[in-house]
Amino acid sequence: MLFEYFQTVPEKHQPDTLAELEPLYRAVLHGCLAGEYKKARKDVYWLRILRGAKQYTLDELGAYSQDLIAISAFFPQGWSQPVSIGLTENDQAWLLQAASFCLMSLGRLAEAVVPRNACLVLHTKLKDFTESANDAGSLTDLLLPLGKLYEAETAAQLAINYALRSKDSCEQMINYSKLATVLHRLGQFQNAQQTFAQAEQLQQKRQPNYPYLYSAAGAWYCTLLVDTARQPNDLDDILARAEYGLKISQHETWLKDMALDHLTLARTYQTQAQTDSARAAFADAILAIQKSGMNMYMPEFYLARASFHLSQNELVKAKDDIDTANQTITRCSMKLYAVDAALLLGRYYLAMNDKATAQSYYDQAAMLIAETGYHLRNKDLTELKRAL
């Protein structure tokens, strides 16, 4: 039986490289074809490929494509419903989460919404409010880059409600942070600041030895702090937060979080006019996000560096980064980042003395801001209009 055969091919029970793991991925597919769904999910995919809660292939190898191909074998009718043969409802919910996460990481955001919504329905039915909070929070992550900011705000509020019902302080902290970053994008600075403060208070209560938000939540907070910084000391505090977060993410080998922390450093150095340090930090950030394989986050990195290049009058480099970001933005329908790209292209064409083209990108950005509610960029839009 091919299912049994491919399990015996690797020399190690838990192989280290993608080449060594390839027979196990094939075993999952053949297990599903043979109707051995329970064994394929738990014994091969969960225990040997993911290494259980360690999530080895995702967190350390960034093997989202390979894992998604394996997971797809459990979804012969599409992403809204996995097979039920031999699987409990909890097993099915886990598969829906895994599918959504891999789709999201590959930038297939609209597709990822489908299994995540189905998972939320199932977890709510099971009265697992911790997982329901996680599902609603993940919907927030998906809806935000799609430019559905008001839907993202609703999802974040729902996530908080479930987290409060579950009494899970970690989920509460995470989802207050997600609501805060949505409010920031909506241009509601004071509400965002207050909500991040709530999240950080929960963090301090949960882990007294970790006084600041870290991981993605810490990076999101730092983005708000950079946007609202007024004194030089404010920027020094942000650098300290970023270095604190980076130390944790490096220790835990969290690739995406390392990238976000490097990006915080880069943006802060840019604001401080420390050009060389900013340039190096942007390079580190982009290298880290590329290594993570998480396509959905890449536009933010390239667009941030494009803004830096424009500030240095490095027009060719700026255009290259905008074009790279736009490949993912267009493919993944990321209307949030389409606003940023349009504003940057407006600045680029102004620098090229092409006001007509710059005006067209101003019009595009204005239309998208009105459609999405991305009012954080109102100031940039006004500045571009004045320059025109």
The pLDDT tens digits of the residues spanning 232-250 come to: 899 999 999 999 999 999 9
- Matching residue, tokens 């000391």: 233
- Alpha-carbon distance of 258 to 264, in angstroms, equals 10
- Alpha-carbon distance of 312 to 308, in angstroms, equals 6
Residues composing the chain: 388
Distance in angstroms between the alpha carbons of the first and the last residue of the chain: 69
Which pTM was predicted? 0.89
Which residues are CB-contacts of 186 (< 8 A; sequence separation ≥ 6)?
149, 153, 373, 374, 375, 376
Q: What is the pLDDT of residues 145-177, one digit of tens each?
A: 999 999 999 999 999 999 999 999 999 999 999
Confidence of residue 207 (pLDDT cuts 50, 70, 90): very high
Q: What is the pLDDT of residues 101-160, one digit of tens each?
A: 999 988 899 999 999 999 999 999 999 999 999 999 999 999 999 999 999 999 999 999
Domain edges within the chain:
321-388
